[in-house]
């Protein structure tokens, strides 16, 4: 989980991720961040997710739980 959060922090250009927030709560969030998350899921977690699915999570915490399982 920690590693995933570190990677997300890098993509969202912050020091620490607030797991209660949504991706879109971060000002920097855009379609390019979305693609970065998709590419990171593919290469590091062997997972395929759509932009729409990523945005449907109620929080980043929920997203992380779905990735790590």
Spatial CB neighbours of 45, under 8 Å, sequence gap ≥ 6: 4, 67
Gap between the Cα atoms of 24 and 1, Å rounded: 20
User: Whose Cβ is closer to another protein: residue 3's or residue 46's?
Assistant: 46
Residues in the chain: 69
Query: Interface residues for another protein in 5-44 (CB under 8 A)?
Result: 30-32, 34-36, 38-39, 42-43
Q: Is residue 51 part of the contact set for another protein (CB under 8 A)?
A: yes
Contacts with another protein by CB under 8 A lie at 30-32, 34-36, 38-39, 42-43, 48-52
């Amino acid at each position: 989980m920690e590693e995933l959060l570190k990677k997300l922090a890098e993509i969202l250009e912050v020091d620490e991720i607030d797991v209660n927030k949504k991706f879109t709560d971060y000002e920097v969030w855009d379609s390019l961040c979305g693609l970065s998350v998709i590419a990171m899921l593919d290469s590091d977690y062997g997972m395929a997710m759509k932009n729409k699915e990523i945005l449907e999570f109620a929080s980043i915490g929920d997203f992380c739980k779905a990735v790590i399982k």
